[in-house]
A and B are shown apart, each in its own frame.
Chain A
């Protein structure tokens, strides 16, 4: 398991990565640190009491729906948005009052924002020029950066002569060529078409690893977040819902919001029917299932059992059985997606490997899952831990 010290959230210790910062991790100061920041536009509070510490060289993603404050946080690091309370540290430097052009950050925009009247060379050299780098050195570094983004020899072109993907690669080169302390990426892939997006995803990750730069990535695309990040910060309504590795946030969602936002999840509500020893939950749909509770639960307390579609198998030997009727079935080759009515107006979704044959609509089916393969949420939608 990757260690979990580089990110932590202060006010709400809901995340798996929050606890147990060791002395070793404390020794190296974080690359970027938010200390209880608030950001307000007039009366509207966009970000509330947000704290996060990002380790040098890591790739951290701010993930959330639009309007959750993720872009606002990113812009606050850049200095494009003023914070109304708290502190932002880049390295050892407090930057709240440092103007943007003195913060030494690399910024990549969704719309590329290459200067349309400047050549690729002048675009990439822009940051170096303002750092008083000597001309021959600028030339060398620009060449290097263009090699890195696999567009060597494009120095003399204008941005309008490049495709979207190429423009975004030049934008990336421009942002990293002067070796900033942090690379900020504001939905850099969302303006690209699907094929390009996948390619750039791999490329950005590769370049980040090669250069060892600390990267903060903003996206609303869970797939991007899961595939690229060392750490994901799931944001909702101006604060962090959960901070953890991709596996942690996907497998052990801290809240109902996280469970729903990252992929599909079956949310089965019920009440604890037996506690002490193996815990059982009586579902609203009528069935009783065994679950693994991390602590003894009071009998009769309301819980939600969260099961990912992939964790549901057709028949088999699973401890929990949910009989029902197939509402719809889609065959995907390796697996099939079933929507199953298990009674009590509850439909659940299963993504199960094909064994034997594909069930048809209207057929009876029995889905099962392991007591280990679920997460329990309390009445407030928080994970019970």
Chain B
């Protein structure tokens, strides 16, 4: 008796869980789906109902020099940020995990700090600093700012991986005659590759997406993709923005996805290349 009742209760619990989950997903993805769908709308007004299918907004986008320039700018900044941040992050994580030195605890907190401080505060802070020492806002500053924002995440990813790489591998390499640098290059770094790729992709996305801090830091006349969208929004909600939004989604979701797939297929290929037969 009670068994069937419990089963009944269980079923309802599951239904409720399913319903809530569905609501959460709709809440999360509906705006994205709407943006993508509306970017193909033929109507002049960026809203439902749709009046027909059209690629005209994409065509318009391709001819919009301001947008194209902003896209290129963002792409470059994100690329430089990804490369620089990954290098800094991996070396920092290596030092934090492998060596004991005075001030290690302080450094480890300091490195993570930019991720904890609200971005706006960080944006204003760096701007105030620049003003205080009387320097102009340059592209270099913008890139440095993005690196600052992305480093904590890369360090955290690399650190987590680094902890899992046992020290004996490096000790073995050293005992066999490899210098400290060689042992890092030949043993530690290859074992860190998943963290390196993951960190680089994340840094790229963080930089490419960044809006609020970029608003403070960008030099006069320079627009990144997000700031460009923002300034376009000030004029009107044109369907062109929907098209642009779709492109942004493609880049920020697509790049990590493709990166992950490439990494996966690489390891798969390697595994397939291995001989299958058993050793006695």
Contacts and interface: CB of A to CB of B under 8 A. Distances in A.
Interface of A: 78-80, 99-107, 109, 111, 113-117, 126-127, 130-131, 151, 154, 156-158, 161-163, 166, 174-175, 178
Given A156-B274, A161-B274, A162-B279, A100 B174 contact: yes
Contacts of A127: 176-177
B275 interface: yes
A111 B279 contact: no
B222 interface: no
Interface string B33-70: 00000000000000000000000000000000000000
Contacts of B14: none
Contact of B182 (A80, A115, A130): A130
A101 to B, nearest CB: 5
A111 B177 contact: no
A115 B172 contact: yes
Contact of B166 (A103, A111, A131, A154): A111
Contacts of A106: 175
Interface of B: 166, 168-169, 171-180, 182-183, 187, 190-191, 274-275, 279
A166 B279 contact: yes
A78 to B, nearest CB: 6
A162 B278 CA distance: 9
B268 to A, nearest CB: 14
A111 B168 contact: yes
B7 to A, nearest CB: 45
A100 B279 contact: no
B279 A78 contact: no
Contact of A158 (B169, B178, B187, B274): B274
Contact of A116 (B177, B191, B274): B191
B172 A109 contact: yes
> Is chain A's interface secondary structure helix, strand, loop, or mixed overall?
loop
B190 A117 contact: yes
Contact of B174 (A101, A111, A116, A178): A101
Contacts of A111: 166, 168
A385 B187 CA distance: 54
Contacts of A115: 169, 172-173, 187
A162 B168 CA distance: 19
Given A162-B279, A166-B279, A157 B274 contact: yes
Contacts of A178: 176-177
Contacts of B177: 101-102, 104, 127, 130-131, 178
Contact of B168 (A104, A113, A158, A161): A113
Contacts of A78: 171, 175
Contacts of B190: 117
A105 B172 CA distance: 11
A8 to B, nearest CB: 27
Contacts of A156: 274-275
Contacts of A103: 175
A100 B176 CA distance: 9
A111 B275 CA distance: 24
A78 B177 CA distance: 11
A245 to B, nearest CB: 29
A197 B187 CA distance: 29
27 contacts: A80-B175, A101-B175, A101-B176, A101-B177, A101-B178, A101-B179, A102-B177, A103-B175, A105-B175, A107-B172, A107-B175, A109-B168, A113-B166, A113-B168, A113-B172, A126-B173, A126-B176, A130-B177, A130-B182, A157-B279, A158-B274, A161-B279, A174-B172, A175-B175, A175-B176, A178-B176, A178-B177
B113 to A, nearest CB: 30
B189 to A, nearest CB: 10
A20 B233 CA distance: 95
Given A101-B179, A158-B274, A161-B279, A117 B191 contact: yes
Contact of B178 (A79, A126, A163, A175): A126
A384 to B, nearest CB: 43
A105 B174 CA distance: 10
**Which are the 7 A-B pairs with shortest beta-carbon distances?**
A130-B177, A127-B176, A107-B175, A113-B168, A113-B172, A100-B174, A126-B176
Contacts of B173: 115, 126
Contacts of A157: 274-275, 279
B84 to A, nearest CB: 26
A156 B275 CA distance: 7
- Centre residue among B166, B174, B182, B274 by max chain A CB count within 10 A: B174
Contacts of B182: 130
B197 to A, nearest CB: 14
Contacts of B174: 79-80, 99-101
A100 B175 contact: yes
A163 B174 CA distance: 25
Nearest to A75: B171
B148 to A, nearest CB: 32
Given A99-B174, A162-B279, 13 more contacts: A80-B171, A101-B176, A102-B177, A103-B175, A105-B175, A109-B168, A113-B171, A115-B173, A115-B187, A117-B190, A126-B173, A130-B177, A154-B279
